[in-house]
């Protein structure tokens, strides 16, 4: 089986953790000069999507990215759907609830495409959700660890 090249990061609302992971991972690929990857992110809920328009990255998440010379740009929350399953090789979730919800959205995971980000780093822990704790630095560090391990896995 070939290594995945189409990767979608997944969290609950797609305004904090998964877009941060998308930005961090794209930056890592770019710095390594790796081409041919499709990287995106989505939400398991409609919490941050109103009238089919997703909210932008949560300002404190964008501020954390900016501290590291990164930006989410015009990224807006979007919803994970069953139609995404055949179009991506890997769905990288921020926590076990996201895994459960993604598998429910997909009506199963027959190809074992749904994983947690930190599983690539050999951990069963979640990327800690900064939305209520305001610890975007901790989430960012978790994401960097997971994304580096994912990159190592891919190359």
Q: Could you list the active site residues? A: 11, 17, 129
Q: Are 56 and 36 a contacting pair, CB within 8 Å?
A: no
Q: Give first-to-last CA distance, the chain, whole Å.
A: 14
Q: Are 126 and 96 a contacting pair, CB within 8 Å?
A: yes
DSSP state of 80: -
Residues in the chain: 155
Helix (H, G, I), strand (E, B) or coil at 115: strand
> Do the strands 38-43 and 49-50 form a parallel or antiparallel pair, or are they unpaired?
unpaired
């Amino acid at each position: 089986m070939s290594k995945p090249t189409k990767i979608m990061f997944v969290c609950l609302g797609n305004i904090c953790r998964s877009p941060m992971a998308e930005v961090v991972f794209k930056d890592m690929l770019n710095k390594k000069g790796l081409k041919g990857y499709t990287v995106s992110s989505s939400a398991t809920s409609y919490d941050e999507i109103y009238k089919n328009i997703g909210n932008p990255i949560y300002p404190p998440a964008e501020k954390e990215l900016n501290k590291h010379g990164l930006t989410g740009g015009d990224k807006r929350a979007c919803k994970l759907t069953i139609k995404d399953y055949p179009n991506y090789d890997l769905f990288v979730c921020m926590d076990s609830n996201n895994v459960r919800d993604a598998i429910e959205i997909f009506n199963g995971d027959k190809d074992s495409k749904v994983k947690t980000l930190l599983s690539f780093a050999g951990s069963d822990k979640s990327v800690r959700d900064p939305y209520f704790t305001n610890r975007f630095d901790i989430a960012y560090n978790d994401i960097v660890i997971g994304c580096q391990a994912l990159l190592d896995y891919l190359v």
